Chain A
Amino acid sequence: MTILAYLIPISLFLGALGLVFFVYTVRSNQYDDPEGDARRILSDEYDDHPKP
């Protein structure tokens, strides 16, 4: 059962990581224009971060 000592912290860490990334995406306005962002990747204009 010693494997638990690794697996539990790993699962908690991965969960926390997912949450942190989600919080980051919300904070940086990445859900403001879902349709536009989906189309922008098709554009030749290089545009790697949303403007404020």
Chain B
Amino acid sequence: MTATMRPTASACPAGAAAPAADKLAAAAAHAQGGAQIALSLPTIHCSACITKIEKALNAHPGVRSARVNLTLKRASIEADPDVTAQEMKTLVEALGFEAHELDAGTLNATANDRAGRELLMRLAVAGFASMNVMLLSVSVWSGAADATRDLFHWISAAIALPTIAFSGQPFFRNAWAALSNRQLNMDVPITLAIVLAVVTSLWETSLSGKHAYFDAALALTFFLLAGRYLDHRTRAIARSAAEELTALEVPRATRLRADGSEEIVNVAELAVGDLLLVRPGGRMPVDGEIVSGTSELDRSLLTGETLPVFAAEGQTVSAGEVNLTGPLTIRASAVGQDTSLHQMADLVAIAESGRSRYTSLADSAAKLYAPGVHILSALAFVGWYLYTFDMRTALNIAAAVLIITCPCALGLAVPAVTTAASGKLFRRGMLIKHETALERLAQVDTVVFDKTGTLTAGTPELTNLADIPRRDAELALALAQGSSHPLAQAITRAAREAGFAPAPVSDLSEVPGYGTRALLEGREVRLGRASWIGAQGRAETATFLDRGEGAPVAFSFTDRLREGAAEAVQSLKDAGKDVYLMSGDTTPAVEALAERLGITHWLAEALPADKSSRIQAMSARGAKVLMVGDGLNDTAALAAAHVSISPASALDAARVASDIVLLGSDLSPIASACATAGAATRRIRENFRIATIYNIVAVPLAMAGLCSPLIAALAMSASSITVSLNALRLR
């Protein structure tokens, strides 16, 4: 299902030459019968881990080469086609490391960060050139005259021209794109400043003039590229981490052939009418109908209900539901784009268009800034031309004004801060996916939580063990041990913690979809759902024990709170934010949780559309809503909110729809993230102020024609460095 949610690399026509070449290479490797396997190794941390894993993998006869990447905590393995990822995984796990299979197809799409490399190359060229030119310029400023000065200027020109033609391309392209749409962006004054500086300097040099701005043009390009590269890095890191989360869900299904044998296939290859086997613990890959088997389904990711639903032959299932107890054979009725899961994702696309209305601080600054700069330098040009009737002087001064005002510091102001802030949050386990997410997070005044899977961990907890006689509890423990059902496991956990020992039962067997049964002293004893035991159902989640005599005993459960949930809610309330709870679950369950966490506003049995329309209504009243949710029923709400967070355990669709992903299971970083975002926004504003102060001091000098290349270089470097240092205070 994950594979169908995203446009694949092949569907992207912009993939151009090099990805196509990569593909060819991959295809060639495939033709030779090679398999690319990627494993995620979250616990590796030292050189011994690397050596140990690489040695073990390379020792496997089918492995051609294996290499561990410690930065990404990943192993990439090239192997013979008959080697499976499962084999590699067990091999690594036998060494005592945690290993998860990653979908190589998903990872390959971003394996080569071409745009990043290109920027780095341009940055390096600009850096080396500006160092060399600066050397020459320093000699000019310290007194080189006449022929020596001209020689230095010509050499500078010889270095600067090709460098700017190469390194300046990103700005030139963006400026051209903006101009051809009849718009102004930050790149227009940048391009104008660079080009004008180079042209006037060439002109001055050819007339043996005193001032040339080659160093300024190069330093400008260098600082601005540094800003762009930082920006790109931050986003690339977030993207690759998000991609890794997606790649963890390998989209595979078990298909039954006509003769009844099983084969593992890619979900993308499934067709309507295929027979699929879904084992307990597996997720439905497609919509379909149950052909054989009985079980229970966990639908919490789709609807927010915590109670498992009984499933038997003839019942329809939807993609995304989790099979709990017995193996099910289903016949696919809708695959890929047509599944209900995918149709929900379309809701997101509609809601998302509303978010693009947010203008980032950088954009609003550019909107004020770009016309201002152009007007200033045009005024300088006209003024000086009318005063001296000398084209050369007027053009020189106009160029100086453009260089001084050029948004070096502005170009660094935002990326330097977001890099520092995203790095800080990443270390605390939060992944900032969207570029303006931090700014939007800083404005939040209302927080809406989903219940199941977000505030609660989605695993039940036994509540009434104390009320149950020890004999019954020990009998229940014996029966519960025979099942992997979440409720049975909760009983096992609780009873073991209480120090109970299982009662001596025999002939223990599980009846998928109903419960477990066994014999105790010749009597049949059963543990399972109310209707099977013959007991009266309850409002809360419960399971019943039939002791073979007397009335059935009820075991009731509550959903376990996620780690840090109480702290997160409390500190958000302390920070003066309104906290809401919206869930698709039943009223008593939601009410109980709201009371436990001290949330006064709650909404139960909410449909996905209810959630998003409530949030839209809040936004219409002017509230800035942060939505925290994980299920498919939350995706529309996540997209409709001002900013959204989802836990890493969320469905792919929910993670795609949210701006921030929580990597750990702990919720408590949410509150501190709001604080960090606030601090980051304050730093960005400070940086804008610093840049403006430099301009206020330097622009009059430039307008008055008093600005030498030395002053320009000093003002530019000083403001860029101050802005970067100010950003570093965030760390």
**Binding between chains A and B:** yes
Residues of A at under 8 Å CB distance from B?
Answer: 1, 4, 8, 11-12, 15-16, 18-19, 22-23, 26, 32-36, 39-40, 42-45, 50-51
* Residues of chain A contacted by B129 (CB below 8 angstroms): 15
Complex A-B: 20 CB contacts under 8 Å:
A12-B155, A12-B159, A15-B128, A15-B132, A19-B124, A19-B125, A23-B121, A32-B69, A33-B70, A33-B72, A34-B71, A35-B71, A36-B50, A36-B69, A40-B47, A42-B47, A44-B51, A45-B51, A45-B55, A51-B67
Chain A positions within 8 Å of B46 at CB level:
39
Decide yes or no whether B470 CB sits under 8 A from chain A.
Answer: no
Interface positions, chain B 102-144, Cβ under 8 Å from A, are 117, 120-121, 124-125, 128-129, 131-132, 135
Q: How far is the CB of A41 from chain B (nearest CB, A)?
A: 8
Q: A26-B117, A35-B70, A36-B68 are in contact. Are A43 and B131 (CB under 8 A)?
A: no
How many residue pairs bridge A and B at CB < 8 Å? 58
Question: Which residue from chain B places its CB closest to the CB of A45 in the assembled complex?
Answer: B51
Q: Which residues of A contact B343 (CB under 8 A)?
A: none
Which A residues are in CB contact (< 8 Å) with B120? 26
The A-contacting residues of B in range 52-70, CB under 8 angstroms, are 54-55, 65, 67-70
CB nearest neighbor in A for B117: A26
User: Chain B at the A interface: mostly helix, strand, loop or mixed?
Assistant: helix
Contact partners of B571 in chain A: CB under 8 A:
none
A18 touches B128 (CB 8 A): yes
> Does B148 count as interface, using CB distance less than 8 angstroms?
yes
Query: Which residue of chain B is the closest to A9 with respect to CB atoms?
Result: B155
B interface, CB within 8 angstroms of A: 46-48, 50-51, 54-55, 65, 67-72, 117, 120-121, 124-125, 128-129, 131-132, 135, 148, 151, 155, 159
Complex Cα–Cα for A35 and B68 (A): 11
| Known A-B contacts A23-B124, A33-B69, A35-B71; A15 and B131 likewise in contact (beta carbons under 8 Å) | yes
Known: A4-B148, A22-B124. A12 touches B47 (CB 8 A): no
Decide: A26 and B72 in contact? CB cutoff 8 A: no
**Secondary structure of the A contact surface, majority rule:** helix
A44 to B50, CA, bound (A): 11
- The answer to whether A1 and B148 have CB atoms under 8 Å apart is yes
A8 to B69, Cβ gap below 8 A? no
Rounded to whole Å, the gap between the CB of A16 and the closest CB of chain B is 8
Least Cβ–Cβ distance between B147 and chain A, in angstroms: 9
Contacts of B151 in A (CB 8 A): 4
Tell me which residues across on chain B come within 8 A of A34, comparing CB atoms: 71
Provide the residues of chain B in CB contact with A15, threshold 8 Å: 128-129, 131-132
> Which residues of A sit under 8 angstroms from B125, Cβ to Cβ?
19
Within 8 Å CB of B69, what residues of A? 32-33, 36
Q: Is the pair A11, B70 in contact by a Cβ cutoff of 8 Å?
A: no
> Bound complex: CA of A22 vs CA of B47, how far in Å?
26
Shortest beta-carbon distance from B94 to chain A in Å: 20
The 9 closest A-B pairs by CB, nearest first: A36-B70, A39-B47, A19-B128, A33-B69, A35-B71, A35-B70, A15-B132, A42-B47, A43-B47
